[in-house]
Amino acid sequence: MTQRTFGQPATPRPDKEIQRVLVVVAHPDDSDFGAAGTIAGWVDAGLSVTILLCTHGEQGGFDDTNREQMPAIREREQVAASAALGVKDVRFLPGHRDGWLEPSWELQRQIVEVIRDVQPQRVLIQSPERWYDRIQASHPDHLAAGEAAVRAIYPAAENRYAWPELIERQRLEPWHVNEVWIMAHPEMTHVVDITDTFGRKVAALQAHASQTGHMSDQLEDFLSGWGSGVADMFGLGQGRLGECFHIMDLG
């Protein structure tokens, strides 16, 4: 177990202590904007990564694509984006409307099911806390997905009396998550240097053509501006690119 003093930010465990990672986000493209470079690095380090989407993101986009077609389009785009990072396990939860996500008991139970099935040591989520300085990162669905994920991680996933039918009917035994990485948190405590995986981050976001196609050539500049701002903030050095997180250690 990692030793630390309360009040000090947690630092992540070495990747070699982690075998499986679960990423939980509200919409297709969320994990790619926030963490594609980091996720690509985890894949390179041999970690098995599963991405779970709470909605199909049918409210996204900037053109008049028929909204009934959007769920299938965005599902295909997320699968392609994840493939660019080397992630093959991409799952979508049924029954949640984009823009209407709530940290409901149903959403929590669905996330608990996936946690117990995947058995991740590390889970990457969106912040349940609103970041007022960057309100776009704190879309209400992101807050809801983050809140539901935190509640699912602790206590429900590790408590056998939470939804006992998961054990009785589906043989999904309790599972303890060791570490949570939070994107778009108001207090960022950890940076990952993504300079070497940045090209795959760009490829992943290009795969979300319904969301990024209108940016065309500016997409890469936009992402590198963002990454170098993070690198500067954490002192990674000239020409480096970063992604940053708040880390929770659950022992």
Q: Coil, strand or helix: which one is 190?
A: strand
Q: Which of residues 155-184 bind Zn ion (CB under 5 A)?
A: none
CB of 50 to Zn ion, least distance (A): 18
Report the residue closest to Zn ion, judged by CB: 27
CB of 196 to Zn ion, least distance (A): 26
Choices 29-37, 68-76, 78-86, 164-172; region in contact with Zn ion by CB under 5 A:
29-37
First to last CA, the chain: 6
Strands 89-92 and 122-126 turn out to be unpaired
- Among residues 30 and 77, whose Cβ is nearest to Zn ion? 30
> What percentage of the chain's residues is helix, strand, coil (to nearest 5)?
45, 15, 40
- Among residues 28 and 37, whose Cβ is nearest to Zn ion? 28
C-alpha span between 35 and 201 (Å, rounded): 8
Q: Which two tokens stand for residue 13?
A: 């465990």
176 near 157, Cβ under 8 Å? Answer: yes
Q: Of the candidates 22, 27, 110, 242, which one interacts with Zn ion according to CB under 5 A?
A: 27
CB of 13 to Zn ion, least distance (A): 27
- Among residues 149 and 231, whose Cβ is nearest to Zn ion? 149
User: Residue 89 CA to chain centroid, in angstroms?
Assistant: 13
CB of 140 to Zn ion, least distance (A): 10
CB of 126 to Zn ion, least distance (A): 8
Nearest Cα residue to 39 out of 102, 1, 87: 87
**Residue 30 interacts with Zn ion (CB under 5 A): yes or no:** yes
- Among residues 144 and 172, whose Cβ is nearest to Zn ion? 144
CB of 204 to Zn ion, least distance (A): 15
H helices present in 68-217, as ranges: 70-85, 105-118, 140-153, 165-170, 198-207, 209-212
Choices 21-29, 82-90, 160-168, 182-190; region in contact with Zn ion by CB under 5 A:
21-29
**Residue 74 interacts with Zn ion (CB under 5 A): yes or no:** no
- Among residues 9 and 140, whose Cβ is nearest to Zn ion? 140
Q: Which two tokens stand for residue 95?
A: 């029954």
Cα-only R_g, the chain: 17
- Among residues 30 and 58, whose Cβ is nearest to Zn ion? 30
Binding site for Zn ion (CB under 5 A): 27, 30
